[in-house]
Every structure is written in C-alpha cells, then in structure tokens.
Amino acid sequence: MMENPSVIGASTVLNRWEEEGKKLTKWELSRVIKELRKYRRFSLALGVYEWIHEQGDRFRVSTSDTAIQLDLISKVHGVLSAEEYFLKLPDTAKDNHTYGALLNAYVQAKMKEKAESLIVDMRDKGYAMHSLPFNVMMTLYMKLKEYEKVIEMITEMLEKNIKMDIYSYNIWVTTCGSMGSVEKMEEVLQRMKLDSSIYPNWTTYSTMATMYMNMGLTEKARDCLKKVESRITARDRIPYHYLLSLYGSLGSKEEVYRIWKAYKSNFPSIWNLGYHAMIASLVRLDDIEGAQRIFDEWLSARSTYDPRVSNLIMGWYVKNGLLDEAEAFLENVFEVGGKVNSNTWEILAEGYIAKQQISEALTCVKEAVSAEGAVHWKPKPANISTLLALCDEESDLENKEVLFEVMKQIGCLDNGKITGETESGSSLSSDRSYVDDDDTESNLLLSQIPETL
C-alpha cells in the first residue's frame, strides 16, 4: 500500500518498523512472504529474505526457506540465477526442498534436459519418493505434448508404489483425454473413485468435460459440468469462471446466464476475472448485446480497470469486420477513463490491416510498442508479414521503412530480417485469440497444480 514499493524496497520498510520499537518474529516474516507471493509481488518477497540474511544468526533459516528463496530468485532474476544460487549452497542445504524448487524452476522455463537430469539425481538421493516431483515433471511433458512420457512417469509411480495425489490423477485423466482415449480416461476416473484417499474434485470433472467436448461428446461433457457445480465449495470463485467458459464453448447461452446468476448470488462482489470469463463466453456465443450489458455493469462495479476485459469486445468487433464500431468503442474506453495495453492496439491494427489501411495499422503498432507494460510484448508475426506484403503491393517504401524501425526497436529485426515468422508468415508461437484470450480450457489443469513450494 506504500508509494513506489519496488523503489523503496522491503528492507527499508522492515528497518523502519523495527526502528519504531516493533520487533519482528520469524513467523510474521514468513506470513508476509506468503502474502507477497500470493499476490505475485516476488521482488518484494525476495527483499524480505535478503533482509533476513542481513540480520546474521538472529533468525533460523530452514531448507524450506532456502527453497522458497530459490523459487523467488528464479522468478525475479531468471532460472540461471536460481541455478547459480543452488550450486553455491552448502551440502546441508541441498535436500528434497531445494532440489524440488530447482526442478520446478527448470520446468517453468521448459528446460527439459536439465529437468530430466535433475530428477535422475533426485531419484539417486531418494528425493523422488513422493508424488510432487513426478507431478512437476508430468506438467512439463504435458506442456510439451509428450504424453507418452507422462504415461512412463505414471507407470514408474505405480511400480514403485508411490502414492498418487489428486493432481497425479488429474494429470493422468488429462493425458488419456489428450491422447484421444475415452475408455482409458474413464478407467482412470474409476480408479480414482476406488482410491479411498482421493475424492475427484471439480478440476477433475472440468478437465473431463473439456476432453469430452474436444471429442464431440457433448452430453457427457454436460454431465461432467453438473458434477463440477456439485463440488464447488463455499468461497471458491474459480470453478464459476471455468463453468462460464465451458458452457460458452458448448453454445449454451441459457446455462451461461444461469451460472452467472448463481455466481452473483453467492458473492457480494465479482472480481475482474469473473467479468472477463462472463464476457468472453458471451462474445464466443456472439451475444454482443449481452456482452456490452455486462461490460457496462463491470464499469460501474470495478475497483480497477483491466484492459483485457474491454479487449474482448473490441476483438469481437474487429473479428466481425465492424471497424467503425471498434473505433467508437475504444473512444468510449478513453472517455470513461479506461486503460489500454499493447494488445488493444494490435486488435485495432488487425482491423486496419483487414481494410488494407497501412498508415492507420502502422500507427497502432507504434502505439502498442509504447503502451504501458509493453516491455514483454511482441506483435503477432502474421500481422507484420501481412503489413509488409501490403507495403510491397502499394510500393509504400516510406511506411515499410518505418515498420522496420519499429521492429528493430523491440528486438524483432535481425540482419535486416524480421524474426519470429515462418515462410508463410504464420507465428511460431501459439496464436493469441482476442475473443478467447482467457484460454481457460487449455490452462485448466496446469493452473490447479500447486508449485513445488
């Protein structure tokens, strides 16, 4: 809540606190770190650990603390810095906690070879005798779509009698579904039901619903969604977001509105994520009037302005060739004091590209580059390729030169060639859909698996 927390730093605040005569305990510091991590304030959380170390032997630092610090270093400074930190640790600090944290860092960075090498070491040292390191590795193989590797990990767990938890089972269910086997997926569910220590949760059935939908088994998907509803706990909002998205994907407008009504009746206020899920579903259903109505409700209820919410509606207008409506909507966003991000401008650029309005599209690209938070933004290569082709068709050398300068500015130009595109101009990375940019289905399982720490 203080001004410029990242500038002031955690140590300054903690020193001030103690200068006022209030002595901090290890329990209080651990609670602060937990809260900061919860809200993704990783740099500040790392600063708390640095302050702890500055106090010498005053606080007892466990290997669990060391593991959390390694995790924070990976998030703040990158996985190589975390690896360096691990290598410098004394042998007494290298146990299942710190090894697990490094494994998790490798997996998050999709560093497959290093992760595989590390888990071999963990097996040799006896640190891979429980489900968590297996779950972490299986998430990596799932991200890489190496489903056979997931099955190998499951087989190893079964052979070594390593107890599976709910996440292990959910990964197994998802893998069978991703491999297109309804029978095996249902066999795993039955196995879960026979395991007295496991209770299939809402994530299990939401995952199965997604798999059934992908296979065209809509009735089975609907049955799973009913089971999701029956497993929602009192204060858990997240299942509602997935229900909205999945019913939207099924084309069930009535169910989307029913879930929205139930969601609002159970919570006095709805987070931005909830409005995002609802509007994304309505946009997917082409219910733009309903989406606009919910958007207006969000404007009056929101605590902060999230441009991802308004981008959904703008994306629908552009996708349907309604550029004038998209421009008017953006003007309204500015009028109500709303914010935009790089994706906002790229959405509008796509509209101009479709109309072959080169100068206007290029202006949007430049706005995207200079937008708040644009440091990690890269344009979709397909859009840039199309812009270049339009410049060539129109012999527009001036705008082509400007485009090259912009690409150079954001590091997408190498030896005079725009990087990150195939010969056909399609993106090497996964395409971002502005109508469905919540990506709830594909991230469902991985978002529910806890980090190592």
| Average of per-residue pLDDT across 88-111 | 95
pLDDT above 50 (res 449) = no
Q: Give the per-residue pLDDT at 274.
A: 96
Percent of the residues in the chain that have a pLDDT greater than 90, as a whole number: 77
| Average of per-residue pLDDT across 195-207 | 93
Count CB atoms within 10 A of the CB of residue 120. Answer: 11
> Is 65 inside a domain boundary?
no
- In tens, the pLDDT along 70-97 reads 999 999 999 999 999 999 999 999 999 9
Q: Give the per-residue pLDDT at 283.
A: 97
pLDDT above 60 (res 427) = no
| Average of per-residue pLDDT across 236-265 | 96
pLDDT level of residue 11 (50, 70, 90 thresholds): confident
In terms of Cα–Cα distance, which of 69, 142, 135 is closest to 110?
142
Residues 326 and 313: their CA atoms lie apart, in Å, by 8
Q: Is 25 helix (H, G, I), strand (E, B) or coil?
A: coil
Q: Give the per-residue pLDDT at 79.
A: 96
pLDDT level of residue 133 (50, 70, 90 thresholds): very high
| Average of per-residue pLDDT across 197-215 | 94
Q: Give the per-residue pLDDT at 420.
A: 52
Strand partners, 313: none
Greater pLDDT, 419 or 294:
294
Answer yes or no: are the C-beta atoms of 103 and 139 closer than 8 Å: no
Q: Give the per-residue pLDDT at 375.
A: 81
Q: Give the per-residue pLDDT at 444.
A: 44
pLDDT above 80 (res 24) = yes
Residues 447 and 167: their CA atoms lie apart, in Å, by 11
Q: Give the per-residue pLDDT at 2.
A: 55
| CA–CA–CA angle 17, 18, 19 (5° rounding) | 95
Torsion angles phi and psi, residue 427, rounded to 5 = -75, 140
Domain that holds residue 177: 130-199
pLDDT above 50 (res 117) = yes
pLDDT level of residue 425 (50, 70, 90 thresholds): very low
Q: Give the per-residue pLDDT at 56.
A: 87
Helices (H) and strands (E) in the chain, counts: 25, 2
pLDDT level of residue 417 (50, 70, 90 thresholds): low
> Is 344 inside a domain boundary?
no
> Is 416 inside a domain boundary?
no
- In tens, the pLDDT along 282-310 reads 999 999 999 999 999 999 998 899 999 99
Q: Give the per-residue pLDDT at 443.
A: 41
pLDDT above 90 (res 220) = yes
Strands 417-418 and 413-414, bridge-based pairing: antiparallel
Q: Give the per-residue pLDDT at 116.
A: 97
Residues 151 and 148: their CA atoms lie apart, in Å, by 5
- In tens, the pLDDT along 174-197 reads 999 999 999 999 999 999 999 999
Domain count within the chain: 1
pLDDT level of residue 416 (50, 70, 90 thresholds): low
Q: Residue 108: exposed, middle, or buried by beta-carbon count in 10 A (0-12, 13-18, 19+)?
A: buried
pLDDT above 80 (res 248) = yes
> Is 169 inside a domain boundary?
yes
> Is 134 inside a domain boundary?
yes
> Is 401 inside a domain boundary?
no
> Is 163 inside a domain boundary?
yes
| Average of per-residue pLDDT across 326-342 | 95
pLDDT level of residue 446 (50, 70, 90 thresholds): very low
Q: Give the per-residue pLDDT at 450.
A: 44
- In tens, the pLDDT along 379-405 reads 998 999 999 999 999 998 999 999 988
Q: Give the per-residue pLDDT at 7.
A: 61
Q: Give the per-residue pLDDT at 12.
A: 83
CA distances from 382 to 139, 417, 425, 431 (A): 29, 14, 5, 9
> Is 394 inside a domain boundary?
no
Q: Residue 105: which H helix or E strand, with range?
A: helix 96-108
Greater pLDDT, 29 or 20:
29
